[in-house]
Structure 1
Amino acid sequence: MELAVVSVLGADRVGIVAGIAGVLARHNVNIVDISQTVVRDIFSMVMVVDMSKADVDIAQLRRELEEEGRRLGVMVGVYHIDVFRYMQRI
Structure 2
Amino acid sequence: MHAVITVIGKDKVGIVAKISSVLARYKVNIIDITQTVLRGMFAMIMIVDLDQATISVEELRRELEKAGKEIGVEVALHSTDLMESIERI
TM-score (norm 2): 0.95
Could you say which residue in structure 2 is the equivalent of 1:6? 5
Aligned match of 2:62: 63
Matches within 5 A, 1:13-24: 13-24=12-23
Is the partner of 1:34 in helix, strand or coil?
Answer: strand
Give, as a single letter, the amino acid of the residue that structure 2 aligns with 1:65. Answer: L
Q: Deviations over 1:23-48 (max 9, x none)?
A: 00000000000000000000000000
CA distance in 2, matches of 1:89, 1:70: 33
Corresponding residue for 1:47? 46
SS at match of 1:20: helix
Q: Distance in 2 between matches of 1:85 and 1:73?
A: 29
Are residue 30 (structure 1) and residue 29 (structure 2) matched?
A: yes
- How far did residue 63 of structure 1 move? 0.1
> Unaligned 5+ residue runs, structure 1?
none
Count residues in correspondence.
89
| 1:85 alignment counterpart | 84
TM-score normalized with structure 1 length: 0.94
Structure 2 unaligned spans of 5+: none
Distance 1:22 1:57 in 2: 17
Aligned-residue offset at 1:87: 3.4
